[in-house]
Chains A and B, each alone.
Chain A
């Protein structure tokens, strides 16, 4: 354990802000944050807590704590930044990393990319087992190898994908599904997800269906969405965004599951052709997997029920209702 006042004893130094790199370096774990509130706070009250830095080899300055503050100061065109220099304290790189982790974890929640950054840094210093069992729960992650691997993979992804993950625009499950997609085309899919403003559930379906179709048909993601039915929906000015989203998802589903969607459509048409009132409803089992169809009769009393059964009994064409795929030539 560290002496509680030890950090406070670290000498003050003034650093040329240009000498400090813009990236978070090996100890900091901030990604996808809004800098404006911090800039405003510094403008109003000045810098309350000094950043902590250590000097690395070849004159490199590594930020141990206060990465966002330094970025805010740079943004404010502050040329010289006062910092505490922890180089002389003799702390190991792991201690620097843990210092930052603990300082951040008590004051804020980490986003998914930050969790990935933390794990990617910890794994260099701590055995996997310990990372899994001691640190993943700290990040509210399940202690599983597969989850660790998923997050380690996240750290190395393209900025646009990481940005969407950090903002919560793309779910971790969607990210996992994206890993099955050829890496060159992940960004294309993320862009479409953002453009269509898909919900988390829709994201998963969208990625899986698009990837499945591409693998099946031997095409790539841009090739799929350049096909005219997709382009027509995307470029249709009469459709609002929810309508486009629904249209694209529906089209993907019909391409991915042609027989199933044709069957659903045929069944829907057959039922609608019966001209049932809204008090009578006929539906098929999910995916037609069960053997039986379902009839729902809404009624207010026995008399109404009898009447509706009579209507059904006399309904022309009811006996022709059958499995919709029997017409299919397989």
Chain B
């Protein structure tokens, strides 16, 4: 069982053998050819086309495991902390930023995470006045490799000892069996990236349908997990209003809105470099059809009235469903917040406070 991943080989980088997670993973994927390799010297240029999603590379990570989300000062950022457990993803979404973000292929798992947890824990404990909203879903899907790697066994107990941290596991998969079998629920958020059913079917290759994602979310809710959702990227496509409404209707059918901590909205944006990758790797894709302009952060994003129109519509239909869903915008300006949602946190600190407060209320924390 490897979830959505279809591995054909494993590469164990020099230095990775000494970590117990390496043996655990090799044991789970027993039978696959294993190559012992040196750290990669030469890197592919950014935007290389062969992402080699069939190779799992196990390696020790030399950088910082816990880092603030690299937001930009020009737009309001949620203040999320990224726990960097690996890079790349077995799914193949046409819009995925990872296609242009990393210049190294293969699915990479950092097997020295366990040895760094004490250090990370010390840092969190030393900053007891701050609430850490931590996520593993920035550079890979949080659950797509769960059955192979078993991060939950490290991270969930780790979080249970930290009263000033919540862990958000962002996914598009239905790989929740492992989570459901764990005893941990406190300060854990399982969240799904959602889109319209048609975008999910055409542009999110390898990912389950929206209905299946919501059914997985429902199972998590039934088993006591707090859930979140991310409509990111919102994509302007034919009949997009009806299409996104269908997703919200499915949410209404399957999800208890009272158990939702937050829902983020973010219109498609991309680094200019990603365009040629999308054109080459996803030839039939229509996600670039819209009117994109160069934003303050150097990324392409929809022309302002299009973004305002999409956010306004989404927030309207979500609020019609339930009026306390914690809807927020990802990487947008104060002006867009005001025009779309009728209020604004004004700056990144304001949005952080808003989300911290949501987390504190849901989990009964003092922040």
A180-B280 contact in complex given A215-B289, A260-B291, A260-B293, C-beta closer than 8 Å: yes
Contact present for A145 and B280 (CB under 8 Å): no
Contact present for A257 and B291 (CB under 8 Å): yes
By a CB distance below 8 angstroms, the chain B residues around A263 are: 303, 305
Contact present for A146 and B305 (CB under 8 Å): no
Contact of A291 among B293, B305, B335 (CB under 8 A): B335
Give CA–CA (A325, B304) in the complex, Å: 10
Contact present for B291 and A146 (CB under 8 Å): no
Question: B345 CB to closest chain A CB, in angstroms?
Answer: 16
Residue B148, interface by CB 8 Å: no
Residue B47, interface by CB 8 Å: yes
Interface residues of B in 36-91 (CB under 8 A from A): 42, 44-48
Q: Give per-residue flags for B276-303: 1 if the beta carbon is below 8 A from chain A beta carbons, else 0.
A: 1001100000101101011110000001
Give CA–CA (A133, B41) in the complex, Å: 12
Interface residues of B in 331-366 (CB under 8 A from A): 333-335
Contact of B286 among A215, A257, A288, A325 (CB under 8 A): A215
Q: Give per-residue flags for B288-326: 1 if the beta carbon is below 8 A from chain A beta carbons, else 0.
A: 110101111000000111100100000000000000000
Interface residues of A in 253-278 (CB under 8 A from B): 256-260, 263
Q: Give per-residue flags for A126-142: 1 if the beta carbon is below 8 A from chain B beta carbons, else 0.
A: 00010011000000000
Contact of B288 among A212, A257, A291 (CB under 8 A): A212
Contact of A212 among B45, B289, B309, B335 (CB under 8 A): B289
Contact present for A288 and B303 (CB under 8 Å): yes
Question: A123 CB to closest chain B CB, in angstroms?
Answer: 15
By a CB distance below 8 angstroms, the chain A residues around B276 are: 176-177, 179-180
Residue A330, interface by CB 8 Å: yes
A146-B45 contact in complex given A259-B303, A289-B295, A325-B305, C-beta closer than 8 Å: yes
Question: A30 CB to closest chain B CB, in angstroms?
Answer: 28
Question: Can you name the residue of chain B whose Cβ is closest to the Cβ of A258?
Answer: B291
Give CA–CA (A146, B333) in the complex, Å: 35
A146-B48 contact in complex given A180-B280, A216-B286, A257-B291, C-beta closer than 8 Å: yes
A129-B294 contact in complex given A259-B305, A260-B303, A291-B335, C-beta closer than 8 Å: no
Give CA–CA (A215, B280) in the complex, Å: 13
Give CA–CA (A71, B12) in the complex, Å: 55
Give the number of chain A interface residues (Cβ < 8 Å).
31
Give CA–CA (A147, B44) in the complex, Å: 10
By a CB distance below 8 angstroms, the chain B residues around A288 are: 303-304
By a CB distance below 8 angstroms, the chain B residues around A291 are: 333-335
Question: B80 CB to closest chain A CB, in angstroms?
Answer: 24
A259-B294 contact in complex given A145-B45, A215-B289, C-beta closer than 8 Å: no
Give CA–CA (A33, B280) in the complex, Å: 32
Contact present for A289 and B304 (CB under 8 Å): yes
Give CA–CA (A295, B42) in the complex, Å: 51
Question: A176 CB to closest chain B CB, in angstroms?
Answer: 7
Interface residues of A in 293-330 (CB under 8 A from B): 323, 325, 328, 330
Residue A45, interface by CB 8 Å: no
By a CB distance below 8 angstroms, the chain A residues around B293 are: 260, 286-287, 289
Question: Can you name the residue of chain B whose Cβ is closest to the Cβ of A325?
Answer: B305
Q: Give per-residue flags for B188-219: 1 if the beta carbon is below 8 A from chain A beta carbons, else 0.
A: 00000000000000000000000000000000
Q: Give per-residue flags for A196-233: 1 if the beta carbon is below 8 A from chain B beta carbons, else 0.
A: 00000000000000011001100000000000000000
Among A146, A212, A325, find the residue whose CB has the most chain B CB atoms closer than 10 A: A146
Question: Can you name the residue of chain B whose Cβ is closest to the Cβ of A128?
Answer: B42
Contact present for A328 and B305 (CB under 8 Å): yes
Q: Give per-residue flags for A37-63: 1 if the beta carbon is below 8 A from chain B beta carbons, else 0.
A: 000000000000000000000000000
Q: Give per-residue flags for A115-133: 1 if the beta carbon is below 8 A from chain B beta carbons, else 0.
A: 0000000000000010011
Question: Can you name the residue of chain A whose Cβ is closest to the Cβ of B44?
Answer: A145
By a CB distance below 8 angstroms, the chain A residues around B303 are: 257, 259-260, 263, 287-288
Give CA–CA (A179, B279) in the complex, Å: 9
Q: Give per-residue flags for B106-138: 1 if the beta carbon is below 8 A from chain A beta carbons, else 0.
A: 000000000000000000000000000000000
Question: Can you name the residue of chain A whose Cβ is closest to the Cβ of B307?
Answer: A289
Contact present for B305 and A330 (CB under 8 Å): yes
By a CB distance below 8 angstroms, the chain A residues around B334 are: 291
Interface residues of B in 221-278 (CB under 8 A from A): 276
Give CA–CA (A328, B176) in the complex, Å: 45
Question: A216 CB to closest chain B CB, in angstroms?
Answer: 4
Question: A265 CB to closest chain B CB, in angstroms?
Answer: 14
Contact present for A330 and B309 (CB under 8 Å): yes
By a CB distance below 8 angstroms, the chain B residues around A211 are: 279
Give CA–CA (A289, B44) in the complex, Å: 34
Residue A144, interface by CB 8 Å: yes
Q: Give per-residue flags for A7-42: 1 if the beta carbon is below 8 A from chain B beta carbons, else 0.
A: 000000000000000000000000000000000000
Contact of A216 among B48, B289, B304 (CB under 8 A): B289
Contact present for A289 and B296 (CB under 8 Å): yes
A259-B309 contact in complex given A146-B47, A288-B303, A289-B304, C-beta closer than 8 Å: no
By a CB distance below 8 angstroms, the chain A residues around B279 are: 180, 211
Question: A142 CB to closest chain B CB, in angstroms?
Answer: 8
By a CB distance below 8 angstroms, the chain B residues around A216 are: 286, 289
Give CA–CA (A179, B281) in the complex, Å: 12
Contact of A146 among B42, B46, B286, B294 (CB under 8 A): B46
Question: B328 CB to closest chain A CB, in angstroms?
Answer: 19
Among A132, A180, A211, A258, find the residue whose CB has the most chain B CB atoms closer than 10 A: A180
By a CB distance below 8 angstroms, the chain B residues around A260 are: 291, 293, 303
Give CA–CA (A196, B289) in the complex, Å: 26
- List 10 additional A-B contacts (Cβ < 8 Å) besides A144-B45, A259-B291, A260-B303: A133-B42, A180-B280, A215-B286, A215-B289, A258-B291, A259-B306, A287-B304, A289-B296, A291-B334, A328-B305
Task: Give the 7 A-B CB pairs with smallest separation, nearest first.
Answer: A146-B45, A287-B293, A144-B45, A291-B335, A180-B279, A216-B289, A325-B305
Interface residues of A (CB under 8 A from B): 129, 132-133, 144-147, 176-177, 179-180, 211-212, 215-216, 256-260, 263, 286-291, 323, 325, 328, 330
Can you give 22 A-B contacts (C-beta < 8 A)?
A: A129-B42, A133-B42, A145-B48, A146-B45, A146-B46, A177-B276, A212-B289, A215-B286, A215-B288, A216-B286, A216-B289, A259-B291, A259-B303, A259-B306, A260-B291, A287-B293, A287-B303, A289-B294, A291-B333, A291-B335, A323-B305, A325-B305
